[in-house]
Amino acid sequence: MSLLKLEEVTKKFGGLTAVKNFSTELAPRELCALIGPNGSGKTTIFNMITGIYVPTQGKISFNGKEITAKRPDIITGYGIARTFQNIRLFQGLNVVENVMLGQHLHLHSNPVEATLNLPGYVREEKRMRLEGMRLLESLGMAQLAHDEPSALPYGQQRKLEIARALATQPRLLLLDEPAAGMSPADSEELMIFIRHILQTFDLSIFLIEHQMRVVMGICPRIIVIDQGEQIAEGTPEEIQNNNRVIEAYLGVADYA
């Protein structure tokens, strides 16, 4: 059974059709890329999967359960996590505390206890800190635990965002242009990081990315959209040799 299933999903903004009849499925533990020109509807697809936008038409299912138009927090609870095109880290909290924010979803003590600093909450905090440290360790980031996010190099900030998404224990991770603005060395490290995540955690990854070196380097399957519609799907080799893709996108793509 597929983990994620989109059936004929459409999103209109007034007169603009951002996504048109888009269908796809992701298998458990699969890594799949979603590429296409700017404004082609990639982020809108992620926003529909995560409940930020309600599809105009179509159906989205996760783990055999329909999630179309469910609230974002409910969808996170089902096991879908994401990162955003622009980095969203909390300054004033250190690295491990940023990761702990991701675990917040699984906090057992109630908010009243939390504000009163009752023993239950203190215990909970300790446990979360420990789990946060364990997660950072498994990602090779433990040495950064007490740093301020803003003090980290850009590539590490991107990895921290992914670590925080992983703290929600997702079955599906949506990454929106994680290599954007990265140096070739940083994107190389990111590729290794993404492969490591796939091997370490029981999850699937849906990856939006413009850096073709990253996409072609790690994704066995690639979906291409243009103006809201799927124009191709295949292996890196098939996509690189697809005339329609070259015309719409790869002719101007970023191979740096």
Residue 63, phi-psi category: left (phi > 0), alpha (psi -120 to 50), beta (remainder)? left
Toward ligand ADP, which CB reaches closer, 40 or 168? 40
Q: What's the N-to-C CA distance of the chain in angstroms?
A: 37
CA 73, CA 139: separation in Å to the nearest integer? 25
Partner whose binding site includes residue 214, from ligand ADP, Mg ion, none (CB under 5 to 8 Å by kind):
none
Interaction partner, residue 90 (Mg ion, ligand ADP, none; CB < 5-8 Å by kind): none
Binds 44, which of ligand ADP, Mg ion, none (CB < 5 to 8 A, cut-off by type)?
ligand ADP
**Interface pattern 7-26 for ligand ADP (x via CB under 6 A):** ------x--x-x--------
2's CB contacts (< 8 A; 6+ apart) are 25, 26, 27
Site for ligand ADP in 27-46 (CB under 6 A): 36, 38-44
Indicate the residue among 43 and 156 with the shorter CB distance to Mg ion: 43
**Quick check: 82 and 166 in contact, CB under 8 A?**
no
The SS3 call for residue 222 is strand
Cα separation values, 29 from 1, 32, 79, Å = 12, 10, 13
Binding-site partner at residue 41 among Mg ion, ligand ADP, none, CB < 5 to 8 Å by type = ligand ADP
Q: Which is nearer to Mg ion, 37 or 120 (CB)?
A: 37
Site for ligand ADP contains 68 (CB under 6 A): no
> How many Cβ atoms are within 10 Å of 136's Cβ, its own excluded?
22
Interface residues with ligand ADP (CB under 6 A) are 13, 16, 18, 36, 38-44
